[in-house]
Amino acid sequence: MLFVWVPLVFSSISFLFLFNSDVFNMLTRIYNNRDFLRKAYGINKSSVNLNHTFLLIQKLTNNSPIKEGEMLWETYRDCRKACLEKDKWPYLMKLDNTINSELDVQMENDQNSESQKCLNFSSYSYLNGIRDESLRSFVFEEMKDGGYHFGNHGPRMLGGNNKWLCKLETKLASFLNREKALCFSSGFLACKSAIQAVSSPKDIIFADGKVHESLRDGIRVAKSRGTYVKYFRHNDFDHLYSLLKKHRQTGQNAYIIIESVYSMDGDFTNLPLVKKYADEYECRIILDEAHGIGTLGETGRGIEELQNCVGAAWMIVGSLTKSLSSVGGFIACDTIMYDFCHFFATGTMFSAPMSVPNAIMAYKMIDVIEMNPQWVQETRDTMQLLKTYLLPLQKKHGATIQSDPGSPLVAFILKDFSIDRVLSLSVIMKRKGFYVATVCAPACEIRAPRLRLTAPRGMTEQNIKDFVRHLDETLTETIHFEQENIMKEIGDLLPLIGL
Ligand SMILES: Cc1ncc(COP(=O)(O)O)c(C=O)c1O
């Protein structure tokens, strides 16, 4: 049916715009892509989700055959294989020698050759603790002195606690202005467990449309048990308000789930406004501070400090894997919820806690931030340099720099760039000695692939200049990919096929 009326609509519009050759040419190009549209339309019907649709489109653009009813994992496998063959697979690399200013990076394709030295422009260790020799030595010393090994005796209820875990929890709680903190072996587990633990079938959850998969996973668990769930459009607080007005009375307890910094977009939530609405509609705010802790606010205490609303969140969750340069996650809350989560959060009740060296490192890193708040400002300064040098690339290459002032990351959005070009860009940059993370759907909008860029504290102005110069050159070198880009030409039609 679509292919009866699409040409009809185009031909009548073409007639109306006959004297405007630009419009006419555009419509002709779109019309000529009807084969693609037909396939994409078919794809949309058989694909299981956005991720699948995205991968199927990649197969189409690579002229790779699509099998009838092929499953997501098959599509992923075929895409990965095609990308590896064409040397544009920038994922699952080997990164070693993290203590050096240049990482040793090895792509999957290069397993038999020497690794490449790369500056990391996508590191999550915003304050660069991951490269600090004295912090590493401190961890080793304390491990040895305390008689610790790397493992533990399993979930805390039976396997017990240790001194460093308890020290870390006390320090973290006080750093975040909460009575208590409970640590987990990962941020994912902490975020997921928090929602799973607190929500009951009678409750309602309002969540930002771009919250992290860990929170979504918790929301899925809650939903499967009967919790009512409403997502509001990302950072659209009018939408949140209208949903509260319409649905708040549906649930007994209500939770609003947001992040301080959105990790694929570099933008902030508006906590004071969310708090105002939360108070009006008696909701509890669950705030994911994964990227805000150590980076936002004068002393790195996160968005509550930055936006001058300490105590606004009912519960703070997050990761110790970013600024704190460790591995683990946490829930920070009042004593009642802390006791409750010990027993009801499955990620701690049924899973071993974070390891001792990780607890020592996270503890020491908070200590360092408390003693040296200038580290936080230095990180912001380095990020600001990166943004300043990137600025001219926006207009020159049609990119968009998205990042709120003071954000620890930049989403360098390459709207309507072919995915081929974005993937190649990342691979070429690695060969030139710069590690950058490439983000595609479903982690972002299908038409807005991006590089997620950071400039950790300690990155020099010369490093940043070199990086931006190479990025500029690489964007120019890869311009030819655009000519093969079907996505751009049919971009405006994607809504027709439900994307
Ligand atoms: C916003 C957010 N929350 C939670 C997590 C999960 O943290 P972890 O990597 O410690 O599991 C991440 C990870 O990137 C994140 O970006």
Which ligand 1 atom minimizes the distance to the CA of 214?
A: 4
Q: Is the CB of 288 under 6 A from ligand 1?
A: yes
pTM score over 0.85 = yes
- The predicted structure's pLDDT at residue 346: 97
- The predicted structure's pLDDT at residue 36: 58
| Lowest mean pLDDT across 40-49, 297-306, 332-341, 363-372 | 40-49
Q: How far apart are the first and last CA of the chain?
A: 18
Q: Where are the beta strands (DSSP E) in 31-176?
A: 94-96, 102-106, 116-120
d(CA 206, CA 256): 5
- The predicted structure's pLDDT at residue 305: 98
Distance from residue 319's CA to the centre of ligand 1 (Å): 6
Q: Is the CB of 264 under 6 A from ligand 1?
A: no
- Please check the confidence at residue 221 and state whether its pLDDT lies above 50: yes
- The predicted structure's pLDDT at residue 43: 63
Is 374 strand, coil or helix? helix
Q: Is the CB of 329 under 6 A from ligand 1?
A: yes
State which of 122, 123, 126, 191 you would mutate to test the pocket of ligand 1, scoring each by most atoms of that ligand within 8 A of its C-beta: 191
Q: Is the CB of 186 under 6 A from ligand 1?
A: yes
Q: Is the CB of 330 under 6 A from ligand 1?
A: no
Distance from residue 290's CA to the centre of ligand 1 (Å): 6
Parallel, antiparallel or unpaired: strands 283-288 and 254-259: parallel
Q: Is the CB of 218 under 6 A from ligand 1?
A: no
Higher-confidence residue of 50 and 455: namely 455
Only one residue has tokens 């990780």, namely 358
Distance from residue 285's CA to the centre of ligand 1 (Å): 18
Identify the band that residue 330 occupies on the pLDDT scale cut at 50, 70 and 90: very high
d(CA 77, CA 68): 16
Which ligand 1 atom minimizes the distance to the CA of 189?
A: 11
Distance from residue 22's CA to the centre of ligand 1 (Å): 45
- The predicted structure's pLDDT at residue 349: 97
Q: Is the CB of 162 under 6 A from ligand 1?
A: no
Q: Is the CB of 263 under 6 A from ligand 1?
A: yes
Distance from residue 321's CA to the centre of ligand 1 (Å): 8
- The predicted structure's pLDDT at residue 492: 55
- pLDDT tens readout for residues 66-88: 887 888 899 899 989 988 888 88
Higher-confidence residue of 480 and 254: namely 254
Nearest residue CA, atom 16 of ligand 1? 263
Q: Is the CB of 319 under 6 A from ligand 1?
A: yes
Q: Is the CB of 452 under 6 A from ligand 1?
A: no
The pLDDT of 300-318, averaged and rounded, is 98
Only one residue has tokens 């649905």, namely 247
Identify the band that residue 499 occupies on the pLDDT scale cut at 50, 70 and 90: low
Q: Is the CB of 420 under 6 A from ligand 1?
A: no
Nearest residue CA, atom 7 of ligand 1? 187
Distance from residue 415's CA to the centre of ligand 1 (Å): 25
- Find out whether 189 and 347 touch, Cβ atoms under 8 Å: yes
| Lowest mean pLDDT across 96-110, 188-202, 320-334, 395-409 | 96-110
| Lowest mean pLDDT across 56-60, 181-185, 279-283 | 56-60
- Please check the confidence at residue 356 and state whether its pLDDT lies above 80: yes
DSSP states of 200-262: -TT-EEEEETT--HHHHHHHHHHHHTT-EEEEEPTT-HHHHHHHHHHHGGG-SSEEEEEESB-
- Find out whether 329 and 185 touch, Cβ atoms under 8 Å: yes
Q: Is the CB of 191 under 6 A from ligand 1?
A: yes
- Please check the confidence at residue 26 and state whether its pLDDT lies above 80: no
Q: Is the CB of 122 under 6 A from ligand 1?
A: no
Parallel, antiparallel or unpaired: strands 329-333 and 180-184: antiparallel
Q: Radius of gyration (Cα) for the chain, nearest Å?
A: 24
The pLDDT of 312-317, averaged and rounded, is 98
Nearest residue CA, atom 9 of ligand 1? 187
The pLDDT of 16-41, averaged and rounded, is 52
Q: Is the CB of 212 under 6 A from ligand 1?
A: yes
Nearest residue CA, atom 10 of ligand 1? 187
- pLDDT tens readout for residues 359-371: 999 999 999 999 9
- pLDDT tens readout for residues 87-112: 889 999 999 998 998 999 988 777 77
Cα four-point dihedral sign 335, 339, 345, 350: positive
The pLDDT of 47-60, averaged and rounded, is 76
d(CA 184, CA 319): 9
For 150-162, b where at least 16 C-beta lie within 10 A, e where not — what string? eebeebbeeeeeb
DSSP states of 315-357: EEEEESSSTT-SS-EEEEE-HHHHHHHHHH-HHHHSS----HH
Distance from residue 187's CA to the centre of ligand 1 (Å): 5
Distance from residue 151's CA to the centre of ligand 1 (Å): 22
Residues contacting residue 132 through CB under 8 Å, at least 6 positions apart: 325
- The predicted structure's pLDDT at residue 200: 96
Identify the band that residue 220 occupies on the pLDDT scale cut at 50, 70 and 90: very high
Only one residue has tokens 């009951």, namely 200
In terms of C-beta density within 10 A (0-12 exposed, 13-18 middle, 19 or more buried), how is residue 76 classed? middle
Strand partners, 180: 333
- Please check the confidence at residue 193 and state whether its pLDDT lies above 80: yes
- Please check the confidence at residue 440 and state whether its pLDDT lies above 80: yes
Q: Is the CB of 321 under 6 A from ligand 1?
A: yes
Higher-confidence residue of 382 and 47: namely 382
- Find out whether 319 and 172 touch, Cβ atoms under 8 Å: no
Rounded to a whole number, what is the largest CA-CA distance in the chain? 82
DSSP states of 449-498: -EEEE---TT--HHHHHHHHHHHHHHHHHTGGGGGG-HHHHHGGGGGGGT
Q: Is the CB of 219 under 6 A from ligand 1?
A: no
- Please check the confidence at residue 150 and state whether its pLDDT lies above 70: yes
Q: Is the CB of 450 under 6 A from ligand 1?
A: no
Distance from residue 169's CA to the centre of ligand 1 (Å): 18
Query: What single DSSP character describes residue 130?
Result: G
What Cα–Cα distance (Å) separates residue 243 from each residue in 285, 292, 349?
A: 15, 27, 34
Mean pLDDT of the chain: 89
Tokens of 377: 């400002």
Identify the band that residue 475 occupies on the pLDDT scale cut at 50, 70 and 90: very high
Only one residue has tokens 């030595």, namely 137
- Please check the confidence at residue 484 and state whether its pLDDT lies above 90: no
Which ligand 1 atom minimizes the distance to the CA of 328?
A: 10
- Please check the confidence at residue 483 and state whether its pLDDT lies above 70: no
- The predicted structure's pLDDT at residue 482: 62
State which of 122, 189, 263, 317 you would mutate to test the pocket of ligand 1, scoring each by most atoms of that ligand within 8 A of its C-beta: 263
- The predicted structure's pLDDT at residue 490: 54
- Find out whether 195 and 286 touch, Cβ atoms under 8 Å: yes
Distance from residue 196's CA to the centre of ligand 1 (Å): 16
Distance from residue 393's CA to the centre of ligand 1 (Å): 29
- Please check the confidence at residue 377 and state whether its pLDDT lies above 90: yes
